[in-house]
Amino acid sequence: MKRLMMAAGAAVALGAPGLAHAETSCADLAKASLPHAEITRATVEKAGQGEACRIAVTSRPTKDSDIRIEVWIPLGQAWNGKFVQLGNGGFAGQVPSGQLRAIAGRGYAAAATDDGHQTTQGTDASWALGHPEKIVDFGWRALKETTEIGKALIAEQKGLKPKRAYFYGCSDGGREALMEAQRFPGDFDGIVAGAPANYMSQLFGISAAQQQALAAPGGYLGPDQRALLQKAALAQCADGGTFIRDPMSCHFDPGKLQCKAGQADGCLTAAQVHSARVMYEGRRDPRTGKIAFPGFSPGAEAAPNSWSAWVTGQGEPDHGRALGLNFSSNAFKYFAFQDPSYDFLKMDLGAEFDRGQRKMAHDIDAANPNLSAFKAHGGKLIQYHGWNDPAIPARSSIRYYEDVRRTMGDTSGFYRLYLIPGMLHCGGGAAPTQVDWLSELDGWVTEDKAPGAVTAKGAGGASQLLCPYPAVARKAAGGWACPARKPAAKTRA
């Protein structure tokens, strides 16, 4: 069997001008060997209008590693010469094969991983108990293994390396995208980071603060309270519309809804006002009283797949099913404290949280604002985030963008951030939100077409104009327009 070296230098030579190379068949590719990894399956699959070689790999860079990877390579002329690595979501546990098929159907070679463990529950982190190497695999090592193996198999099958390499992910995949730019700046020519959970350990702190408030006597926000909050927020800030176009200028205070003496309906109790404020403000450090990390933006509190999915549950009886509650509970049990009985609802949000956060941050956070090496490589980065994201606050993306700008100065030559009014977590919501970010990235990398005003599309031909942060689309003659680009404000989100 032929052993593939990660650099794949010999295969690259075959792709030089004037040298013909017959593609390695999918069946023969199954016989190749990889360092500390084995190919477990190679089959020809339908992908779009053509076919692709689907290769399953198990990589074991440590004795406790079990990283599952899939690489899809379009066969024949279907390949556009480019490679896309996809990110995962939640705590992963499965390879996103359907997404790989779709990307391969567009002509890209594609790869993704389960991040080093197997589970059907995306909120489950019990696999990390007693397995520190698996936490490393989840945090970043599985990503690097996937990149190297993906590129090596493409080179072996095609006889040349991809001419462009991109990374695309949302949520945890967005965290992975920024992890790639920070830790492996030479691996990708372009990166799309959607709703990134790059401050992952801090997100668990926000959830702890939210869930503690909701669990307090009288603090739960049921369907009626969520509807009341959304109606009031839209009335104040949506200018008659169904979503808030400029959340930065919306200063909504749920205190205006607090019940007055003798009032019982159509209002919030003091405990519920406190819960709502925690949702919007984020986590306060009890030692200083200051906001340690930002919270959610108003305007979609009662929307389907919003707070009910991520924070509150549909009603109080199924509060325990909320995704954010389960993510954070698992994180503190298995990442931070290695104690399945740990109750984060009783956690001190100051020093005790800090101890847990420090134990998690090194391997799972992607917070480094110095992207100089990625920029020097020629890399381009597009980051996007829905303003009404109920899982990862949009202001966390602003925080990272501003941290990068403070560190590096003007970033517009390689880094653009888009905040999407009305969008929930990675998609959906009351507004048009669909953008082909991969095509935007490809045009920037291959044709130097830096993205400016971008049109998001929705059902029934609806659309909205998106401007690179900090600009906000404004009404103009004949429609909407992005104002002239100005430097981002030097305020911390």
Say whether the peptide bond before residue 217 is cis (omega within 30 degrees of 0).
no
Residue 137: CB atoms within 10 Å: 31
- Is the CA virtual torsion 214, 212, 249, 174 positive or negative? negative
Are 201 and 357 a contacting pair, CB within 8 Å? yes
In DSSP terms, 59 is beta-bridged to 37, 67
Helix (H) or strand (E) holding 191: strand 190-194
Note if 131 is an active site residue.
no
- Pick the catalytic residue from 172, 187, 363, 389: 389
Q: How far is CA 82 from CA 74, 189, 395, in A?
A: 10, 10, 33
Nearest CA to 292 out of 301, 308, 281 is that of: 281
**Sequence-ordered list of residues with C-beta below 8 angstroms from that of 33, at least 6 positions apart, any chain:** 1, 2, 3, 4, 39
3-state SS, residue 115: coil
Q: First CA to last CA across the chain, in angstroms?
A: 55
Amino acid at 174: G
Long-range contacts: 307-314, Cβ < 8 Å, 24+?
A: 307/221, 307/226, 307/279, 307/390, 308/223, 308/226, 309/390, 310/390, 310/391, 310/425, 311/207, 311/210, 311/211, 311/214, 311/279, 311/390, 312/214, 312/220, 312/221, 312/222, 312/226, 314/223
Nearest CA to 250 out of 233, 270, 269 is that of: 233
Note if 115 is an active site residue.
no
Nearest CA to 52 out of 22, 35, 68, 29 is that of: 29
* Residue that is written with structure tokens 């006889």 in the block: 159
Are 56 and 40 a contacting pair, CB within 8 Å? yes
Note if 21 is an active site residue.
no
- Pick the catalytic residue from 115, 328, 425, 442: 425
- Pick the catalytic residue from 171, 306, 329, 397: 171
Active centre residues (catalytic): 171, 389, 425
